[in-house]
A and B are shown apart, each in its own frame.
Chain A
């Protein structure tokens, strides 16, 4: 408890120092407002446009969550097939690595072309972005089961399904969470990136990516800063949520389960 308090105190101290430094830079160098707004101006932009900003955050959160959940469902399904059929794995696994290297900048216009702009397109971009770490980590967890455990199951005449669902799948859960942990950060970035290319621009439908583009074009730097803060907080919330689920599912039996706190 004492340690938690001191961790919190440290974080607050660093944050305060950062604000002071920021203000001092403004005073000393006379930076124009549109280049670097003051902390107070950012706070003001926050308060003034809070409903719009919150709406943008909710839209981006929905898109990111949709893409992330889809990538978990599809990724685990693909990993299960990979674990069951070695020849499928050999044939297709290299292509899952391509998912990570394909430049989203290049395929986003294609998705826009095929599906038009809107939440569905952004979710698809997020999904493509977050899929690779899920597949890679879950497959790893499914196939890296200790040989003797497989032998144990075989000794008791376990079926293929029993080996998969009673041994491989539970064994892969910690690795799955490693994948989700990576994918959850990617999904928020993916959604914001996706919005830059394929986000809706209708009134009340623009997410953080759209708002960032808009604020930047209008030189509303104070609002831009508020959006950056909001995006960061959103990413952090995702991470926290995943950590909570990881702790919930793993803390009783797995050594690596981390408690949902910032250390």
Chain B
């Protein structure tokens, strides 16, 4: 982690996104994500959650407004950003450790330096034993771990996640939620996490942004007042259930707007 400025990690000012077909996905979207936050974006379908992530990553450009990542344009900030997609997006012809080293390879790092960096990551996500396996030999949860390790290999400051655990069963999902928080405690990146699950958002986040649909805009921002150290017992605690109820209520309001 290089020089830390006081600028917000992500800043949207009056951002709009309209596709060629005329559909307005986002309109007048303004929001700020401070460094070190774990922000979840939640909202009814059609509110432009995934589009917001694509805008931050610079994969698509806004129709109006400005987006700054630590003061830079999304494209210039890419080196400090990693993206975890809904599907694991592994290269099936590469082994686990070759997949984890992909981003480093694209940056031109030699194979020896890559191994030095991917080794500890494989330990971190518990995949050391299967490092020479091919993706088709892995379960859905394991593939997602590879995807996470690959995203972390470049030591990003900002991690974008687009419903990364949506396709997993509840057990693997809960387990990976906990692992994600454990890894974050060691590395301290800022996270923007898109999800459909209120419980998942509450468990992971320091802040939840609820979007309203048609066109997508901020409905409300809910700070999550829960201890920073979160483990599975929290899921059954009354304060957790209160938070979930509060966010669910906000989500219902957003849908009715």
Contact = CB atoms under 8 A, between A and B. Distances in A.
A157 B91 contact: no
B91 A149 contact: yes
A14 to B, nearest CB: 36
Contacts of A157: 78-79, 106-107
B83 A152 contact: yes
B59 A254 contact: no
A158 B106 contact: yes
Contacts of A202: none
Given A155-B59, A156-B106, A157-B106, A254 B92 contact: yes
B240 interface: no
A67 B57 CA distance: 47
Contact of B89 (A149, A158, A171): A149
Contacts of A151: 57, 59, 83, 85
B65 to A, nearest CB: 22
Contacts of A171: 93
B89 A148 contact: yes
A158 B108 CA distance: 10
B194 to A, nearest CB: 14
A252 B106 contact: no
A155 B89 contact: no
Interface stretch (A68-76, A96-104, A162-170): A162-170
A253 B80 CA distance: 31
Nearest to A157: B78
Given A148-B87, A151-B59, A253-B135, A156 B93 contact: no
A263 interface: no
A158 B135 CA distance: 22
A11 interface: no
Contacts, number: 53
Given A149-B89, A149-B91, A155 B81 contact: yes
Give chain B's interface residue range (CB within 8 Å of chain A): 20 to 34
A154 interface: yes
A170 B94 CA distance: 10
A156 B78 contact: yes
A155 B91 contact: no
A173 B107 CA distance: 24
A255 interface: yes
A170 B93 contact: yes
B103 interface: yes
A153 interface: yes
Contacts of B102: 152, 156
Nearest to B84: A152
B234 to A, nearest CB: 32
Contacts of B106: 153, 156-158, 162, 166
Given A156-B107, A157-B106, 7 more contacts: A155-B81, A155-B82, A155-B83, A162-B106, A167-B91, A253-B92, A254-B92
Interface of B: 57, 59, 78-79, 81-83, 85-87, 89, 91-94, 102-103, 105-107, 134-136, 154
Give 7 closest A-B pairs by Cβ, nearest first: A156-B103, A156-B106, A253-B134, A253-B93, A158-B106, A148-B85, A170-B93
